[in-house]
Amino acid sequence: MKTVVALSLVGAALGAPTKTIENRQFGGLGALSSLIPSSGSGLSGLGSLGGSGSESGLGALASLLPSSSSGPGDLSSLGSLGGSSSDSGLGALASLIPSLGSGLSDSSSSSGISSLLGGLSKRQLTGSITANDVIDKASCKELTFIFARGSDELGNMGSVVGPPVATQLKSLTGNKVNVQGVTYAATAESNVALGANGGPIMANLVETALKQCPDTKVVLGGYSQGSMVVHNAASRLSAEVTGAVLFGDPFKTQAVGKLASGKVKEYCASGDPVCENGFNVMAHLSYGSDAKEAAQFLIEAAGLSTSS
């Protein structure tokens, strides 16, 4: 399945990660690091992704996104990057981030970065998932996971990290979890609402889940713009939520409502343009690899145990 990538940026400048944040370095990304060169070479360094020596770079690139076994995001179409011609490699990579356009050949570092930032105005991902266990009044389960997707992801769970976390929760609990996505206008333009466009919807879903199943433990998750939705929703709730995981969170330095810091886990990959003001677009798309750890954290935060 082909994954077409671009990404929404939030204009706020944020400080260094706090101690609650998982900061991941991307070893083996020498080829990919040339996306944003430090000198006047523009993005011409992408040529190192092509040719016979491209395998190590491609391996690192493929490892950034979850495989089809853990959810949407199959990168099988990236095979063409390893051809004998760097042009074919660049073409395939450009198809992942089509908005980069002229930045791939621009000789100016500043204009190359400008093209990149312009191309990060939207994200379009295929293979999205919709989950409506709360809305559909599914049978009560020990855990309820409510998730807010990132900008321009389809469905109400998106595809980058929401579905993988939900899958891991089901696996680790023996399917003792209901999953609900937040259906809100997750557009690039709605970033200016700072979560207020989806926060009330998420808060209402929490209250509905507890009304339908008073004994369930509710945990939240959010990715990119969806993380701001979690912050907004949590500020409207008291003790209804038992844990939260946030990925690529623009508000990573802020508390999540009244949740204790030990009940919140932030994931901010090194170079992420959204949570770290970096320039590695692939970092912002890498959080599927954190799904199992995040699911384990939510289960423990809710005071539950994994299935044997």
Q: What is the CATH number of the domain that holds 192?
A: 3.40.50.1820
Same domain for 191 and 52? no
What is the pLDDT at residue 308?
A: 55
Same domain for 111 and 150? no
| pTM summary value | 0.64
Active-site residue, from 74, 133, 272, 290: 272
In the chain, how many domains are there? 2
Active-site residue, from 159, 284, 286, 290: 284
Per-residue exposure over 245-263, b if at least 16 CB sit within 10 Å of its own CB, e if not: bbbbbbbbeeebbebeeeb
What is the pLDDT at residue 172?
A: 98
Model confidence over 235-260: pLDDT tens digits? 999 778 999 999 999 999 999 999 99
> Annotated catalytic, 284?
yes
Same domain for 189 and 290? yes
- What phi and psi values does residue 196 have, to the nearest 5 degrees? -70, -20
Residue 279 to residues 96, 117, 123, 271, Cα–Cα distance (Å): 16, 9, 15, 6
113 domain-assigned? yes
160 domain-assigned? yes
> In the numeric block, which tokens belong to residue 148?
């807010």
Same domain for 105 and 149? no
Same domain for 211 and 243? yes
> Annotated catalytic, 272?
yes
What is the pLDDT at residue 128?
A: 55
Task: Write out the residue range of the structural domain in which residue 280 sits.
Answer: 143-301
158 domain-assigned? yes
What is the pLDDT at residue 195?
A: 86
15 domain-assigned? no
Same domain for 31 and 155? no
Low-confidence ranges of the chain (pLDDT < 50): 1-20, 25-126
> Annotated catalytic, 87?
no
Active-site residue, from 54, 115, 224, 289: 224
Same domain for 158 and 289? yes
What gap in Å lies between CA 24 and CA 12, rounded to an integer?
A: 22
What is the pLDDT at residue 90?
A: 33
